[in-house]
Amino acid sequence: MRAVPTYTRSMRRGLVIAILVVGAVVALAITRGGGSDKKSAAPSQAAETKAFKGSPPPLAALHAQQSQLLGGGTDAFKQRLAGLKGHGVVVNKWAAWCGPCRQEFPVFQKVSVQLGRNVAFLGVDAQDNASSAKRFLGQFPVSYPSYSDPNLKIAELMDAVGAFPTTVIYDSSGKIANTHIGPYTSDAALVADIKRYAK
């Protein structure tokens, strides 16, 4: 019986180690929520109804359009912002294909209900296709609508063309008060920025 050459054993050992390392990295990513299969954190309809009771009419109109994808481009977006003067407005630019956006969505699902009686929330679905966006909103429903922005015209208006996701906070006078590039990784971080800037 011929002996297996040492270089072959060595190569096999290296391959086994490489497979184990890759498996460990993937398992760690999934454990820490690094996969794209983050679970929805949307509160129940009953919890939303209770949280939004007594909302001012402009905010109640947003709640009535929850998870809808709206058209109309920059004109519709500007008109909406004008109608929300007197309230802080949080605008989250996202896309269904964007992994960090998916990771961040549960934060917006919770905080938009927690603060949605006093602060307006809007989404901007940028450089996306409508069917993917609608499917994503079906998996991760939010208590506010998103405007479709396939050509980044709304993002340009917000001075938020580059990074995904980007969150822009407008103060109650309608001026941009803060731009946060990248995902919010905790409810507390988003709440802190809203309390600081959406005045």
Instruction: Give the predicted TM-score (pTM) of the model.
Output: 0.78
Which pair of tokens denotes residue 113? 């209900």
Letter for the amino acid at 158? M
Query: In the chain, pLDDT over 70 holds for what percent of residues?
Result: 75
Q: Which pLDDT score is estimated for 34?
A: 38
Tens digits of residue pLDDT in 140-149: 999 999 999 9
Instruction: Judge whether residue 13 has pLDDT over 70.
Output: no
Tens digits of residue pLDDT in 127-136: 999 999 999 9
For residue 33, the tally of other CB atoms under 10 A from its CB is 12
User: Distances from the Cα of 155 to the Cαs of 36, 73, 126, 150, 166, in angstroms?
Assistant: 24, 10, 7, 10, 9
CA–CA distance, 15 with 147 (Å, rounded to integer): 48
Consecutive H or E run containing 48: helix 45-52
- Which tops the pLDDT comparison, 23 or 52? 52
Kindly calculate the radius of gyration of the chain based on its CA atoms and give it in whole angstroms.
Answer: 22
Q: Which residue has the tokens 């605008």?
A: 91
Instruction: Judge whether residue 185 has pLDDT over 90.
Output: yes
For residues 10-27, give the mean pLDDT: 35
Instruction: Judge whether residue 27 has pLDDT over 50.
Output: no
Letter for the amino acid at 10? S
- Residue 73's pLDDT band (boundaries 50, 70, 90)? very high
